[in-house]
A = this chain, B = another copy of it.
Amino acid sequence: MKVEFWFEFASTYSYPAAMRIEALAANRGVQVVWRPFLLGPIFQQQGWNDSPFNIYEAKGRYMWRDMERICESQNLPLRRPSKFPRNGLLAARIVCAHSEEPWVPEFVRSVYRANFANDAEISSPEIVEQCLTQAGQDAATLLTTAQTQTAKEKLKAQTTEAMERGIFGAPSFTVGRELFWGNDRLEDALAWALR
C-alpha cells in the first residue's frame, strides 16, 4: 500500500501537502514515494509560459487567499514569495537522484519552508545547501551529483512519466493508475491506497 506523491517545488499547494503527507500516511500505514517533477514542460504543452496563477489574475488572487486560510488551519507559516514561481530545478534533481533515502522528506520540507515561509531563493545553490545541511546531509557531494547528466535525465524522465500518467498540476497523488489532484485530495488518495 503506497501513495506516489508528485510535487513541484514552485507549486504553492504542494507546500501544505508536503508538510503533512508523511505523518498522515504513517498514521494509516501507507508508504509515501516522493516524486518531484517539473510543471514547466507540462504548462508549456498547455500553451502557458508562466504559472496559470500569474496568467489568470482572479485565479491567482483567490489562490493566495486560499493558501492563507489553509496554512492558518495547518498552523504553517506563510510569507508570500517576492518571486513566484521560483525555479526548483536543482532541489528537484537532488530529490530525484536520492528519492528513497531517509533524509529526503526533511529536505523537501526544508525547501518548501525556504520558498513559502522564508521567501528565500530556492534556485540558488547556497539556499539548497542550507536545506541539505538542515536535513543532516553533506551538501557539497549532493550538489555535485545533482549536476551530473544522470541526475538531469532522471528528472526529465520523471516529468515525462508524470505527463504520461495524465498529471497536469501539483500536487498530485497516484495509487496505481488512480490519480488525485490537489492538496485537498490527499486524504482521498490515502483512503484509496487502503482499499
Residues of A within 8 A of B (CB): 46, 56, 58-59, 61-62, 65-66, 69, 163, 166-169, 179-181, 184, 188
Given contacts A58-B168, A59-B169, A69-B188, 4 further A-B contacts (CB under 8 A): A58-B166, A58-B167, A62-B181, A66-B181
How many identical chains are in the complex? 2
Inter-chain contact A168/B56, CB cutoff 8 Å: yes
CB < 8 Å neighbour of A184 from B46, B163, B166, B184: B184
Measured between beta carbons, the chain B residues less than 8 angstroms from A66 are 180-181
Closest to A178 in B: B65
CB < 8 Å neighbour of A61 from B58, B62, B166: B166
